[in-house]
Structure formats: C-alpha cells, structure tokens
C-alpha cells in the first residue's frame, strides 16, 4: 500500500511542477481565479499533512506568491512521503474541519483524500485553461505512468 501512495504522490508532484512551469510560461494568461485554485490545492495538501502531524496549518484559501509555489509543492510532497514512512496507515487522526466540527479518519483515508482533492481541482483548473483559450496539460494518470511495451 505504501508503494501505491508513493506512486500517487510522485504523480501529483510531477503534475504540480508541470502546472507551476505552465503558469510561468503563460504568465499573462493565468487569471487570479486560476492562481487561487492552485493555491487552494497546495494549502489543502499542507493542511491535511498538518492535521496528521498536529502542526500549524495554512488557511485553505491563503494566497501565495507564484515564486513560492515550487517550495510549497516540494515541502508538501516530502511531508506526505515522510508520513508514509513514519506512521501506520491504520492510525486514526482526530481533527477539526474548517468549521470546528470534530472528526476522525485513518491516515490511509486522509492520504487518499489528498490525491482525490488534487485531481478534482486539477480537472477544474484544466477546464479554466481551456476556457481561456489555452491548451491544458494532459493529466490522466495512465498517460503519465505509461511505459513502453517490452518486446517478447
């Protein structure tokens, strides 16, 4: 299971880095709404890591300067991978949501949610890019993970 999550976080990290590069290459076409959504993706990842580690978290809608994106992305991924190596996936985490309601989920459920959350908003972001007349990134997992066929 840990290997699966390592692959998932490598996939999301790769796409986040590609998105950051894409934003740099198309800087004048990237809207504030697109930047807000990408910041939200980074913030939510950091927030869930912080809930697991019981450390301070960003606000889910905190804005960051674009030059901070690479470091935030790297740090989020490193922390998630560290969590995978340090804690059993079955450990239960007690936390409060942004409205103060108390919940409990396993680390496995939280890590799975981080990946789903990235994918959900990445799809929205690609739609925004297309609506702005830009060619979106290819974000399908199978496309990113494809390997050439081995000859017999």
Which residues are part of a known binding site for a divalent metal cation? 40, 117, 121
Residue numbers belonging to the annotated binding site: 40, 117, 121
Q: What are the respective helix, strand and coil percentages of the chain, to the nearest 5?
A: 65, 5, 30
Beta-carbon contacts of residue 94 (< 8 Å; ≥ 6 apart) = 102, 103, 104
By C-alpha distance, which of 53, 67, 130, 132 is closest to 95?
53
* Neighbouring C-beta atoms of residue 133, cutoff 10 Å: 7
What are the strands, taking DSSP E only, across the chain?
Answer: 92-96, 102-106
By C-alpha distance, which of 40, 78, 46 is closest to 60?
40
């Amino acid at each position: 299971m840990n290997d699966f999550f390592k692959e998932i976080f490598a996939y999301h990290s790769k796409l986040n880095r590609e998105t950051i590069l894409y934003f740099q290459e198309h800087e004048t076409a990237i809207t504030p709404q697109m930047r807000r959504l990408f910041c939200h993706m980074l913030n939510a990842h950091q927030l869930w890591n912080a809930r697991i580690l019981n450390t301070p978290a960003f606000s889910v809608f905190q804005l960051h300067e674009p030059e901070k994106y690479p470091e935030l992305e790297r740090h989020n991924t490193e922390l998630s991978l560290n969590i995978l190596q340090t804690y059993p996936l079955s450990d239960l985490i007690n936390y409060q949501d942004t409205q103060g309601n108390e919940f409990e989920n396993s680390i496995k459920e939280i890590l799975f949610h981080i990946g789903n959350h990235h994918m959900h908003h990445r799809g929205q972001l690609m739609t925004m890019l297309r609506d702005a007349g830009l060619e979106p990134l290819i974000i399908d997992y199978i496309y990113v993970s494809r390997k050439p066929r081995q000859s017999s």
